[in-house]
Structure formats: structure tokens, C-alpha cells
Amino acid sequence: MAAPSSFDVLVIGSGASGLAAAVSAERAGSRVALAAKGSLQSCNSAKAQGGIQAAFGEDDSPEQHAEDVWKSSHETADRNLVEVLTSEAPSAIHWLEELGVEFTRDSVNGAPSGRGRGYRLARCGGASRKRLLQVGDRTGHAITKALREAFEASTATALPKSPLRSLERREQGWRAVCGEHVIDAGTVILAAGGRCFKEAEERGELSTNHPGATGEVTQIALELGAEARDLDALQYHPNGGAWPPNMQGYSIPETTRAYGAVLLNSEGEEFTDSLGPRDTVSQSIFDEVAQGRGVETPDGRPAVYLDTTRIAEYDAEISLPYMLRRYRGGGIDPLREPILTYPVLHYQNGGLVIDEAASTTVEGLYACGEIAGGTHGRNRMMGNSLLECCVFGRRAGRAAAEKAKAA
């Protein structure tokens, strides 16, 4: 084992939340190390397609955004965390733009100099307003790429292929073993994501998740005494790809429904509000299939139809180009025929309890992103995961840097 290396802040995880935390801590003057389970590029954040929410519409506000989050959580979210999330959403978007993210724009939403700055805004499930910003249908890829480039341009140290193996309290902070590295740090930020890949494997189901989403870091935090909430509340993405085989487990962007696609049963009937909250839509699909009104994929899997033929070609080419390429590559044109869909395991809604500074209940230990609970309650709206990563990743980085300096 190598001799210990010393840093002010150690970040565990290289998704959007970990990168945002590392960049923020480094800019606050800390010596930062970021340890990743695999490569820096390996994360769920990069797979997020639909978009990121922020209240920019003339008829919208952070307060309305917060109310939608509260309702979608079935009034189980932490109101303080929700208010932080939605009030800081616009500034998080501008920060991402400063890092090089170019959100899709549409003159329909106003001139670039207006309040909406010309963003192409879509209404997503559970939302009462159009507030979803997108980078085509590869928003997560664009955000993580910009954050990773900012991280790589900083003085922070990257430790790829170095999974967290152990973490223990020391007199002056923490000692962590990450892969072959021994690291002493004043504070630690956990941003290692959830466990849905592992859960899906154990259940024999499909998942949208990266193979690294197996939950060991959450378990390490629990063993240290960190409190958690809603760990049983795992979310299904309503629209997993069911056919062709190359699309199985793919998360069909929820923006398909924002731009007009609807869910249909075997009789061609709409059976749910296609823009309802994710858990409601997923349950409606499960119920429809259970009641014998579903369809079957050629390989015998359950499914219903997502009628993507109702999407205007203009909207699809601008906001769904990656999905179109993927399906057309498999021999199906979503603008000419409905596609087959079924819910897939997607997101860990619950996680470690945090406060507004992203502090866990263990002093000097912070958490942000999917590993943290409370912001979404027991059901997350789409577009709020990338937002949570940026808002609370930045907060965690700043708070951890301040704590390390004071130690």
C-alpha cells in the first residue's frame, strides 16, 4: 500500500455531483482529490438524456418549481432542500453555461436577451410549466463533459480506478483507502451515486444504470453512523426501451412525451396521463399489462406502445436526434411507427440525510447527488437529478472547503 497522500477535500465519485463539488472546492482554495470507481467518464450522469429543470419561463418561478417538486414527491420531500434546489436553479444554469454548456435554444421562447434567454423549454412529467432545458437529448453528456473539462483544467488530483474501500475518522479529519491509494483529508464528499444496477441484477430486471451503480459507498456511510431516509424508494423510468434488443434498458427520453408522444395499450387506447409523475405513469403501465391490455415484444417481454408518431419532425430533429439515430439503427423509425416500452429500474430516490450545506449527520462528511436523500422525497421529477448534482455539488464543495480550512 502506498504512503498516505494529504488533501483538504476528498471527493468520491466522478458524476456530475462529484465533479461540481470538486471544481467548487478547488475554486474555494482547497487541495482536492477526486477518486472514481472506474474512469472519470464512467457515471450515470453522462447517460441522462432528457434535460435539466430551471424556472426561466415568463409564467414560471422558483416557487412554482418548488410546488411541483413537492406535489410530485407526494409531499415527502424536505421543503428546505427543495427551496434551495429551485431557487438556485437559474444560477446553476448560468454557471454551466460559463463552463461551456450550450443549451438548445428556440426563438419561439423569446429573444436571447429576454428573461428566458431563448431557451427551448419543454414541460416534463409532473411539471405545471415548461421549464426543462435540453442539449438535444444528450444533456447529461454535455454537462458532465463541461464539468470534467473544468476539473481537468484545475489543480485538483484525479484518482481513476480507485473505488472507496474504507473510510475512518482521524484526529484531524479522515483517512480513506481508495483502490491502492491511502488518503488523509480534512473533509470527505460522497458523490458515488445509487445502487439501481445492482438491484436490477438481483431482481432479474433491466436498468438504465451504469454497471458501477452498486451502492457500496452508501453502506460505508451507514456503518459510520450516517442517517438515511427513503432507501426503499427506488424509481422506475416509465419509458424503458423494450424492443429492438439494442434498445432494451435504454431510457427513452421523457421529452418524447413532452413533445406529444402518448402511451397506448394493445387496443390503441390512451390509459394514463402521459405527463403525470413518474411513479404514477410507471404504475399505470404495470397495471395495464397486468390486466391483459399490454403487448408482447418479439422476445416475449411485456410492453405497451409509446406513440412517437405524434411528435412533429421539427421537434424530434432538434430535441431527440440521438434517440432517432439509435432506433433507426435498429431498423425502427419512431416517427413512422409507435415504439415498444416498459418501465425500467432507474433511480435511488432516497439516500443519506443532508442539510442545506450538503452535510450528512456525521461531522465532516458531505453527500450530494443520487447518494443523498430528501430533495426528491419518495418520487423524483425528471430534470431535477442533474439540477440537484449541480446545486448541491457546488454547495458541498464550498462547505467542505470551508470546514477543511477551519480544521
Q: Which residues are catalytic?
A: 278
Pairing state between β 5-12 and 32-35? parallel
HSE, CB side, 13 Å, CA atoms: give it for residue 213. Answer: 26
Q: Are strands 351-353 and 372-373 parallel, antiparallel or unpaired?
A: parallel
Cα(215)–Cα(362) distance, integer angstroms: 18
The C-alpha atoms of residue 53 and residue 88 are separated, in whole angstroms, by: 11
Q: Is 154 exposed, middle or buried (0-12, 13-18, 19+ CB in 10 A)?
A: middle
Which amino acid is residue 218, in one-letter code? T
Helices (H) and strands (E) in the chain, counts: 12, 17
Q: Cis ω on the peptide bond leading into residue 298 (within 30° of 0)?
A: no
Q: Rounded to an integer, what distance in angstroms lies between the CA atom of residue 2 and that of residue 191? A: 24
DSSP class of residue 251 equals B
Question: What residues contact residue 159 under an 8 Å CB cut-off, 6+ apart?
Answer: 33, 34, 35, 36, 178, 179, 181, 183
**Amino acid identity of 256?**
T
Amino acid present at 13: G
